[in-house]
Amino acid sequence: MTTSAAAREAQQAFLGLLAQPLVTPTTNRLLHRHVMRHQRQIADHARRAGYRLQRVGRAVRMIRVPIAGSVIAPPRPATAPGRRLLSLVCCLAACCEEVSGTVTLQRLSDMVRDLTSAPGVTVGAYDPEQKPQRRLLRDAAALLAGWGVLRRRTNDEKMMYDWTEDGAGPGAGYEVDRDALLLMTSPDVLAAALHPPDSDTEPDGRTVHHLRALLETPAVVYADLDDAEADALRKGRGLRSADLAQMTGGTVEARAEGLVLVLPDDPDHPPTVADWPRARAADWVALLMADLAGRHGDRTPGGAVRLTGAQVDEVVEDLASWRGDYMSKDQRTVPGTIRADAETILTELGLLRVGEDRSWTLSPVAGRYRDPDVTLVDTTEPTR
């Protein structure tokens, strides 16, 4: 492998860990092989951005150490696990530490029930006699399987269905990956989350903050920073661009409003950007709403576009009269659906902030989607 090819593979493996922070040979064999091959280079990339690469056996994890007690990340997706589900994931992981060999979902269910009913436990009790509770535990096991902690050994979906819906049978059989489990429940990770180092007091704290923001968020907009921070980023954007090019193989677009990191596509590794817009009504409605709102609102000196709640309602009406025949049934008949769909998607993407007064503030980044070429073939298959 040539030096340039090896560097490129290390960059893609680093990006792969950003998208899939805990990797094992089971969860992603190709990514795991590349991470192990370029572990030293990836650890260096991680260290420069304030991350930490940790390995136990064959499991590897990219740990996002908070910066001065805060996490730099895009808005929380609507599909992110809720608190109850996450609490069951933690309880299930704790029970997995007591497992040797294989285990059934029914046995894990019994263990979680006993754990949550023990004196002094502050997590709400888990009741396997309730179908919604069993469904949550099934989803918790699926999350642990996605992270590599559990490896499912049975493929009979009827067994899983019978256990989830009727409480009958063993559910499914699993094997615990102890290396992945140790990484997930590492006391070092918990300590870093609860007592993070104050990176802003270190000489390169500002550099780490800028690199992390460009890696974790859709863009860094100068108007979102205080004057001193924005000035420092403008002056150092050349250095940051070079750093990110070396770490990721991507390029930094410098605009008057801020900076955007454009990452290379790689079908062999998990995607690091949202798959949007897709061929569904909610996506193309959000896309067209962003375009129309960008034209109707008032542009600020920082490049954002602001609309009052009433102006947003007018944009909704314009879009409904223009393309209403192609919308979904709920969008056509249920008041508020168009706006709710657009707000949910655009907020998740980091392109929109909704005020308490229902006003909209579109990020300057939304301008990248100006003049979308949307061809509506029929009422069920909008394409872009």
What's the pLDDT tens digit per position in 275-321? 788 888 999 999 999 999 999 899 998 889 999 999 999 999 999 99
Both tokens of residue 49?
């951005």
Based on the domain organization, do 165 and 223 belong to the same domain? Answer: no
Mean pLDDT confidence for 363-382: 74
203 pLDDT band (50/70/90 cuts)? very low
Does residue 167 lie in a domain region?
A: yes
What CATH number corresponds to the domain at position 378?
A: 1.10.10
The answer, yes or no, to whether residue 378 has pLDDT greater than 90, is: no
More confident residue, 204 or 356: 356
> Average pLDDT for residues 246-274, to the nearest whole number?
85
Q: What is the mean pLDDT of the chain?
A: 89
Lowest mean pLDDT among 147-151, 175-179, 216-220, 254-258: 216-220
Q: Is residue 91 part of a domain?
A: yes
Same domain, 201 and 56: yes
**Percent of all residues in the chain with a pLDDT value above 70, rounded to a whole number:** 92
- Same domain, yes or no, for 19 and 61? yes
Same domain, yes or no, for 203 and 63? yes
Same domain, residue pair 227 and 370: no
Residue 191 forms part of a structural domain: no
Residues 292 and 356 in one domain: yes
Q: Mean of the pLDDT values across residues 221-227?
A: 89
Asked whether residue 14 carries a pLDDT value surpassing 90, the answer given is: yes
> Within this chain, do residues 50 and 101 fall inside the same structural domain, yes or no?
no
What pLDDT was estimated at residue 266?
75
Give the model's pLDDT for residue 75.
Answer: 67
Residue 361 falls within a domain, yes or no? yes
pLDDT digits (tens, 9 = 90+) for 34-63: 999 999 999 999 999 989 999 999 999 999
* Higher local confidence (pLDDT), 137 or 198: 137
Do 339 and 378 have their domain in common?
yes
Q: Which of 213, 232, 262 is the last residue in one of the domains?
A: 262
CATH of the domain at 134: 1.10.10.10
Check whether 160 has a pLDDT greater than 80: yes
Question: Is residue 310 domain-resident?
Answer: yes
Instruction: Mean pLDDT check: name the lowest of 19-33, 192-206, 249-263, 335-349.
Output: 192-206
Same domain, 228 and 308: no
pTM of the predicted model as reported, rounded to 2 decimal places:
0.84
Predicted pLDDT of residue 317:
95
Specify if 270 maps to a domain: no
Q: Clarify whether residues 347 and 256 are in a common domain.
A: no
For residue 112, pLDDT beyond 90: yes
Q: Which of 184, 211, 239 is the last residue of a domain?
A: 184
**Is the model's pLDDT at 106 over the cut of 70?**
yes
Decide if 273 is inside a domain: no
Instruction: Check residue 383 and give its pLDDT.
Output: 47
Q: Which of 151, 184, 217 is the last residue of a domain?
A: 184
Whether 316 and 348 map to the same domain: the answer is yes
Q: What is the pLDDT of residue 200?
A: 46
Q: Are residues 64 and 127 in the same domain?
A: no
Asked whether residue 247 carries a pLDDT value surpassing 50, the answer given is yes
pLDDT for 242 equals 95
Q: Is residue 155 part of a domain?
A: yes
In the chain, the number of structural domains is 3
Range of the domain at 91: 83-184
- Whole-number percent of the chain with pLDDT over 90: 66
Q: How far is CA 51 from CA 45, 116, 271, 335, in A?
A: 8, 33, 19, 45
109-123, 216-230, 237-251: least confident range: 216-230
